[in-house]
Amino acid sequence: MKKFILLSLLLFASIISASETKTPQKIMSAFKIERATILVDGKLDEVVWKKIPIDEFTQKDPKEGSPATQRTEVWIAYDEEYLYVAAKLYDTNPELIDIALSRRDNYFTSDWFGFYVDPFNDKKTGNFFGINAAGTMVDGVLFNDSWDDSSWDGVWEGKTTINGEGWSLEMRIPFSQLRFKESDKMVWGINFNREIKRNGESSYYVMVPKKESGFVSRFASLEGLNGIKPKQRLEILPYIVQKAQYLVHDKNDPFYKSNQYKTTIGADFKIGLSSSLNIDATINPDFGQVEVDPAVINLSAFESYFEEKRPFFIEGSNSFYFGIGGANNNWGFNFSWPELFYSRRIGRSPQGPTSSADYVRYPTETNILGAAKLTGKLDDVTTLGAVSAVTERTFVTLYNNGFQTTEQVEPLTHYGILRTKREFNDGRQSLGFMMTTVNRQLNTASLESRLAKNAFTFGLDGYTFLDEDKVYVLSGALAGSYIHGTEKFVQRLQKRPYRYFQRPDATYMPYDSTLTSLEGWYGRVTLNKQQGNFYINAALGAASPGFEHNDLGFQWMADRINSHLVLGYRWFEPDGVFRNKSVYLAHARSYNFEGNLIQNFIWLRSNLQFENYWQLGVNGFYAFEAMNPSATRGGPLIKNPEGYSLAADVTTDSRKQIIFETSISYERDLLKGEATSFGFNVQWKPNSQIDFTVGPQYQINNDTRQWVGNFADVSATNTYGTRYVFANIDQKTLSANIRLNWTFTPTLSLQLFLQPLLAVGNYYNYKEIAKPKTLDLNEYGKNGSTIVYDNTSGEYIIDPDGASSAKSFSVGNPNFNFKSLRGNAVLRWEAMPGSILYFVWSHDQQNYDDAGEFIFGRDLRNLWKSEGNDVFMVKFSYWLDM
């Protein structure tokens, strides 16, 4: 109750002090021209650019509110098909203009011009188009008023020129690339931005002060767009891919040659149902990645998360976010909005088991027969997004004694997603709905035991601003799930690591072997202060034990009741030492549905930017003693000890030729477990075309309770007839991300990526849990117990008490020495707008010699001598605007 009263007082005080400066909205006129009267070359010699421009830009950095130090003039024109943007960026020192090049969509510190547009004039969404003085182009979408996503790739043109007065540019953007409500007289929202690298200056036509919130909602009005009748949108993007694979293989493998060379042909389609609603469809899609996933070492029970890199799913992905909306900050603290749609589930590797065989041809992915996506707006305030995809029935081919047989490892599956949101009261409130469905045609016992026949999720989310100035926003979401399958499947489902219904001490929803379905729910409400120096964020949420959305989403938790409170203060004004600074203090607690405290910590973070543009961040974390429901992998609760961590990171001036970043962290708990991490990243730009980055990282983890295995023993009465075995682990991980970007022209670039990784783990001091809900451990080799290593079998033979009451058991040596080298090279040429030719080489090799021993030179030599896999690919996609 005291915490609630304190929170209420803080909220009331900050509402009283909050205010928002109201300024008249700026208005800009667009000039209508005859078709094809502008040559996009960046020279501004057309007649229309002689008209009166807008030129009132205001600094956001370094001197907020002051006029821009250099003059910028901007014009907008249009014809029946295109929107044109021209700008003349004066510079009193044109020789100092930054002309660095980079690949498309790679934003970096440079001299930039940005164009922001809200075609719906809905004050929430839009697009941005940027170009730097050398001609590098970036684009993306705007959403949630102040957020952006650069994954969208529009088809447009932009050119720049540099002269004695500064530099100038022209953009030509097809109306077909923008979504808007067609009418005879339209009013759009617009804004412009200019960045000058050498003095860290960023200025805007409409500048939103740092103390205030929002971005799209503050845009100026663009008038004069009259009589636009864009043609019906129909884009076709056919592609062809030729792949050659040279893999590590057995020379007698009968499947290798037939799978070595592969040609794929397909096409993507974009169809405009209206100027505001589009369908994306694909036939025999190429969902192969150009970029490789990083190698990871995961010793937890939970799945590793990988970012989506396939264009079909990336574009418009922000339309399917759930819960996120209204608030400009979302804090998680081990409880966040659920990711109901994780697109990498579609086309994932087959999940079925196979019989033993001499040789196996197991597909690395599931072919997608077809997919379609509908996105856009039904009206000014209602957005719609839908995806439907079908993956084919997939088979593995087995070869035994000259005979080939097949087994099904993935069923015919349909994936469906529906997402809609509607805003009310000029965007002050919003209500959304989302539903996902997975339906499989299961017809084998092995797949029925592993996969759901039907899986559904559904949810409502929304937000409301609590005051006239939109200082405070309340966001919330409620979701439910239902999943159906065989008894064997639901048994497996109940044993997932974020649930562990089989825990012998479970009192809420214990394991039930007869279930054929599982239901659950999720709910969360958050409060966020959007602007001002003082900051507050608070949340309360819960996910029931049966909540399950992993068939089409990504799930890492259930059975949790969570709350957090974040208080902070931000200084936005320079004070002679710092340009800006902030400090945040948070407290979070979590319980499971049995009432056990499973998380309780205090977190502190401070960010400082110095006058010389260096940045310093400092973290502090203290965790109090709590229960751990997953450490024993389905066994009873045990305690997590108190512990703390400290971390710091430093970044130098991003305007310089060499940029250095470094981070260091240290953590320790009361069981003397320790972890240290140190890394740095050096970015070097030797000239305007080359950008080289190397980022090594070294981690040492000395955990005193690394899980080894669970072993049944009826004599283990204190731990429910099972011995839960742990060990100390001495783990060392050395890795590096090495990148080279060589940009020859704005449309031709070469990217090189290399990731070496050495990870070694040595297990020792084996022990077992002595008593649930405690920190007590029984170490083997003490108090009558014995442990002996058998070199022949590679196993530890353990007698838990040296008496006849307990049976001996063996534990395989879990030591590891994983060495990996992954890399790729991508030559990308945009032959014409929207049409791209790729040459790709991917390589990976691994080595596992000398488990448990880390010797850098030897391990590196072993890795280098290992055989590797090489994949070469040529891909060409051609954009047809019908």
Average pLDDT of the residues in 270-292? 74
- pLDDT for 379: 84
pLDDT band at 805 (very low <50, low <70, confident <90, very high): low
- Token look-up 């949420």 returns 541
- pLDDT (tens digit per residue) in 546-570: 999 999 999 999 999 999 999 999 9
Query: If you average pLDDT over residues 265-287, what whole number do you get?
Result: 81
335 with 487: CB under 8 angstroms?
A: no
Is 597 in contact with 612 (CB distance < 8 Å)? no
Q: Confidence band (pLDDT; 50, 70, 90) for 291?
A: low
Check: CB of residue 76 under 8 Å from CB of residue 83. yes
254: pLDDT strictly greater than 70: yes
For the cut 70, the answer to whether the pLDDT of residue 188 exceeds it is yes
d(CA 352, CA 670): 43
More confident position, 624 or 365: 624
* Whole-number pLDDT of residue 297: 64
pLDDT at residue number 296: 64
Per-residue model confidence (pLDDT) at position 804 = 65
Q: Does residue 36 surpass a pLDDT of 80?
A: no
Contacts of 208 (CB under 8 A, 6+ apart): 60, 214, 215, 218
Instruction: Report pLDDT for 10.
Output: 44
Which range of 242-246, 268-272, 279-283, 616-620 scores highest in mean pLDDT? It is 616-620
Whose structure tokens read 């697009």? 127
Q: CA-to-CA distance for 42 and 673, rounded, in angstroms?
A: 61
List pLDDT tens digits, range 814-855.
Answer: 999 999 999 999 999 999 998 999 999 999 999 999 999 999
Q: CA angle, corner 38, sides to 37 and 41, nearest 5?
A: 150
Cα angle 578-583-585, degrees, rounded to a multiple of 5: 170
Instruction: Write out the two tokens for 253.
Output: 């493998």
Amino acid 14: pLDDT: 44
Cβ–Cβ < 8 Å for 253, 259: no
292 has a pLDDT exceeding 70 = no
Hey, what amino acid is at 804?
Answer: S
Residue 682 pLDDT exceeds 60: yes
Work out the pLDDT band at 378, boundaries 50, 70, 90. confident
Three-state secondary structure along 384-402?
A: EEEEEEEECCEEEEEEECC
pLDDT value of position 390: 94
Tally Cβ neighbours within 10 Å of residue 764. Answer: 10
Mean pLDDT value across residues 177-195: 92
- Residue 3: predicted pLDDT: 44
Q: What is the pLDDT of residue 695?
A: 96
| Burial bucket for residue 653 (CB in 10 Å: 0-12, 13-18, 19+) | middle
For residues 546 and 593, give the distance between their C-alpha atoms in angstroms, rounded to a whole number: 11
Residue whose pair of structure tokens reads 């996009």 in the numeric block: 40
d(Cα 408, Cα 391) in Å, to the nearest integer?
Answer: 13
pLDDT recorded at residue 392: 93
Question: What is the pLDDT at residue 150?
Answer: 87
Mean model confidence pLDDT for the chain: 91
Q: What is the mean pLDDT of residues 87-92?
A: 97
DSSP per-residue string spanning 575-634: -SSEEEEEEEEEEEEEE-TT--EEEEEEEEEEEEEETTS-EEEEEEEEE--EEESSTTSS
